[in-house]
Amino acid sequence: MRTEQLAAGERPQAETAHRPKIGERELIWMMALLMACNAFGIDAILPALNAVATDLGATGNSRQFVVGAYLLAAGFGTLVPGAFADRYGRRPVLFTALFCYIAFSIACALATSFDALVILRAAQGFFAAGIIALPPAIIRDRVGGDKMARMMSLIFVIFLLVPAIAPSIGQGVLQIMGDWRWIFGAMAVLGSVMTLWVYTRLPETLHEDDRQDIHVPTILRNMTSAVTLRETIGYTLGSALVFGGLFGFINSSQQLIGEAFGAGEDFPLIFAICAGCMAIANWSNSRIVERHGARRVSHVALFAFVAVAGAQLYFANQPDETLWTFVPLMAANMSLLGFIGANFGSIALQPFRHIAGAASSAQGFLRLTSGAALGAFIGHSYDGTARPLALALLATALLSLAFVMFSEKGELFGGPIPEDD
């Protein structure tokens, strides 16, 4: 396993002679902000959903389709880039995804109807899915085991700062520019900055001896193995379920916090607090995961998630639930996701070092499509209270626990995973 600074020594010298090596710290920041382009694409528009609905004539919960269409299409889109990245390398596929992210951001800013906006958002999510699927594969090119879980946790710390501040940025753009369309302009600017950074600093990370042919039966076999292996499938489905609950919160958060609980203009701050709790939890996970192991840490967090979700359901069924009971419990569950997400993902990708691109795509597809569809269902079930969300969080956590127990054959709290396991 290669743990030195990422260099492209296996690429033709002419291609990489002027491209500096990239260290671990810069790599973590770069991968985090690439994934954050996706988070920014989801969360920056949240404070403007009312304005979008008013401007383009959307009614009721249909405004959520601006978010849900992107999420669901991104899930399907993750099936595509992995196989090409395993053949042609990470860089060209990543550039294609970034170009699509920029182009469709501009197109969304120019949309003249709500239906057109939803279609363009779906296209943006689908064609830009490489910014979601490839960062884990790039990290897996370099490290594995609990060390990968540590690096992914650090990536999530930075990555989660974006959804923490994205609604505030979106609201700021809306107030300053007076038009929600400029929020999509901000997405295009972010994508352009990331394209320049990747072009100048990221070497090719795919090892020459790991290149795969574009052979449909081989690709299907690789992807199938990535989502059917018993020791990992429970973690892929488990993370899809718990993050489906999170997506349900994101879809309905503006209506729930801003309208049902009357927080109004404080919505971006409250959303930032919840997302910030996830970031702090991921930082904490990065400090302990190599010592205690990704399995042990995530299993404890999942049991705690079940308990907190149960408390959320209890308070949601009280006639006088307030923001002061909802937000601390939601923040607690989002914190616990910080000990679940990176660890589940690292465990699921661990056996697939030689087909990391295809495996990341297949697992990302299953995780995102299931999670997005579930999140859309939860969001659309919004009835003016926190009950549908609380019930969904508890149900998804219990199902996730069942899937993990299936993968682990009933034996939970396993020890650390060696890097070359």
Instruction: Give pLDDT, residue 280.
Output: 86
CA 173, CA 186: separation in Å to the nearest integer?
A: 8
The verdict on residue 414 lying in a domain is no
Instruction: Name which of 358, 32, 332, 75 is nearest 216 in CA terms.
Output: 358
Q: With H, G, I as helix, E, B as strand and everything else as coil, classify residue 341.
A: helix
Instruction: Give pLDDT, residue 302.
Output: 94
Task: Please tell me the total number of residues recorded for the chain in this structure.
Answer: 421
CA 239, CA 415: separation in Å to the nearest integer?
A: 20
CA 261, CA 324: separation in Å to the nearest integer?
A: 9
In a 10 Å sphere around its CB, with 0-12 CB exposed, 13-18 middle and 19+ buried, how is residue 98 labelled? buried
In a 10 Å sphere around its CB, with 0-12 CB exposed, 13-18 middle and 19+ buried, how is residue 155 labelled? buried
Instruction: Give pLDDT, residue 12.
Output: 41
The verdict on residue 418 lying in a domain is no
CA 336, CA 86: separation in Å to the nearest integer?
A: 33
The verdict on residue 6 lying in a domain is no
Tokens at 277, concatenated = 């709790």
The verdict on residue 4 lying in a domain is no
Tokens at 38, concatenated = 């996706």
CA 101, CA 161: separation in Å to the nearest integer?
A: 20
Instruction: Give pLDDT, residue 420.
Output: 53
The chain-wide mean pLDDT, for the chain, equals 83
Task: Indicate which CATH number applies to the domain containing 249.
Answer: 1.20.1250.20
The verdict on residue 15 lying in a domain is no
Instruction: Name which of 90, 39, 93 is nearest 356 in CA terms.
Output: 90
CA 363, CA 324: separation in Å to the nearest integer?
A: 37
Where in the sequence is the domain holding 392, given as residue range(s)? 20-407
The verdict on residue 98 lying in a domain is yes
Instruction: Give pLDDT, residue 4.
Output: 39
Q: Domains in the chain: how many in total?
A: 1
List the chain residues with pLDDT less than 70.
Answer: 1-20, 145, 159-160, 163-164, 415-421
Instruction: Give pLDDT, residue 11.
Output: 41
The verdict on residue 14 lying in a domain is no
DSSP 352: G
Q: With H, G, I as helix, E, B as strand and everything else as coil, classify residue 154.
A: helix
Answer positive or negative: Cα dihedral of 162, 157, 364, 341: negative
The verdict on residue 190 lying in a domain is yes
Q: Dihedral of the CA atoms 227, 232, 234, 236 (nearest 10)? A: -60
Q: With H, G, I as helix, E, B as strand and everything else as coil, classify residue 404.
A: helix
Q: Where are the alpha helices (DSSP H) in 78-144?
A: 81-88, 90-109, 114-127, 130-142
Instruction: Give pLDDT, residue 20.
Output: 55
Instruction: Give pLDDT, residue 160.
Output: 66
